[in-house]
Amino acid sequence: MHLRDGLQTHATVRQRYDHLVETGLIGRDPAQERITADLDRLIDEISAKRMAHKSSALGWLFARKRETREAVKGLYIHGGVGRGKTMLMDMFFELVPVRRKRRVHFNDFMADVQDRIQKHRQARKEGTVREDDPIAPVARALAEEAWVLCFDEFSVTDIADAMILSRLFSALFANGVVLVATSNVAPEDLYRDGLNRKLFLPFIGILGRHAHVLALGADKDYRLDKLSRMPVYITPADAAADAALDAAWEAMTHGRPTAETTLTVKGRQVVVPAAAGEAARFSFADLCEKPLGPRDYLAIAARFSTVFIDHVPVLGEGRRNEAKRFILLIDTLYDHHVRLVMSAAAPPPQLYTARRGNKVFEFERTASRLIEMQSHEWLEDWAERQRARVLSPEAQQVRA
């Protein structure tokens, strides 16, 4: 532990962890403490390799030829939802003394890989590149950008991803990439019951050779415990509600990076103003004042397990279109059992003030669902579905 620019910093993951415990931000957990030791050991190994490379002006050049033999073995940390995996990995990512490092949600990483593969194939058609197989050049480019890769929520549900993982990661590891990943499932349960799984199985062996597999068997779901004490429907939608949603967002995302992203729906781009892992945050205007429809809401429900909505207004006679979209949105989130956290101008039964037309009766159902989605039973059921979802690719395909 030392001072930098007048601020206390921490040299190791364990020191950072102990500081959070001592300040009351988290509770001490023996299983988490064991993981901090593994993460610190990995930091030491990466630091030693980095220094060895720096000892020679040609260190990187020669190291490339010895990479497979000398590669640092990474970590694959698996455990239930809310056990603190992401928190621990983020500590590691911040502290590992490497400039070329990348921390990314695994699904976003694979979307990037597929885009690069498509661009390479197009370039091959145009004659601007010579290699037929895109995997090797894509892996080289990724390794040049980051030789320490941190993946949050490692899961395999897409057959296109599953079919290339063995070759892609063989190439990444051959280029010296060090992997640190968190997942809700053990490696042998990845892509369980997926189509053509036998073609995916070699990847499990490759992963085991290049990453130590650690189970985080904490007894308590810390994220769920913290969220369960927070309101999920906050009214009125004032500054206090904004602060409450900010606190709930922080608890849900564990401080992981938040960024705008987009979903592609039938060739159109649906903007998600803030996304972190499987959580997304929108304003009411983002979702219901724009010309979005059923496919857009389905895409949101398929991609995110938790949706935050800020500033839902009271909807009257002059806002029938917005009310129609809001009804459709809540139906979609309810049917796909997406956790909803929102601020609103009024309680659910008072959100729609029109007294004529079919929407009156439809909104009664919406209000009932909004009340149910606040219940402790809904939260517990959501958590159980989350655990089951990551174990079954087929379940997620149905969910989408």
Question: What whole-number distance in Å separates Cα of residue 324 and Cα of residue 279?
Answer: 24
At the topology level, CATH places domain 222-385 in Rossmann fold (3.40.50)
Give 40's strand partners. Answer: none
Using CB atoms within 10 Å of the CB of residue 69, give its burial: 0 to 12 exposed, 13 to 18 middle, 19+ buried: exposed
Q: Class of the 2-215 domain?
A: alpha beta
SS3 178: strand
Taking the domains of the chain in order of start, what are their residue ranges? 2-215, 222-385
Q: Are 164 and 202 in contact (CB under 8 A)?
A: no
Identify which of 319, 310, 307, 309 has the alpha carbon closest to the alpha carbon of residue 352. Answer: 319
Q: Are 253 and 226 in contact (CB under 8 A)?
A: no
Q: Are 396 and 156 in contact (CB under 8 A)?
A: no
Q: Which amino acid is at 40?
A: D
Question: What whole-number distance in Å separates Cα of residue 234 and Cα of residue 242?
Answer: 9
- Domains 2-215 and 222-385 fall in the same CATH topology: yes
pTM of the model: 0.57
Question: What whole-number distance in Å separates Cα of residue 227 and Cα of residue 201?
Answer: 36
Using CB atoms within 10 Å of the CB of residue 116, give its burial: 0 to 12 exposed, 13 to 18 middle, 19+ buried: middle
Give 281's strand partners. Answer: 274, 308
Query: pLDDT tens track of the chain, all 400 residues?
Result: 444 333 345 589 999 888 888 877 777 888 899 999 999 999 999 988 877 666 554 554 444 444 444 679 999 999 876 678 888 998 999 999 889 999 988 888 888 899 999 999 998 888 887 888 899 999 999 999 999 999 988 888 778 888 899 999 999 999 999 999 998 888 988 888 788 888 899 999 999 999 999 988 755 555 555 555 678 899 998 999 999 899 888 878 776 778 899 998 888 899 999 998 889 999 999 999 999 999 999 999 989 989 999 999 999 878 888 999 999 999 999 988 899 999 999 999 899 887 766 667 788 889 999 998 888 778 777 766 765 554 444 433 333 3
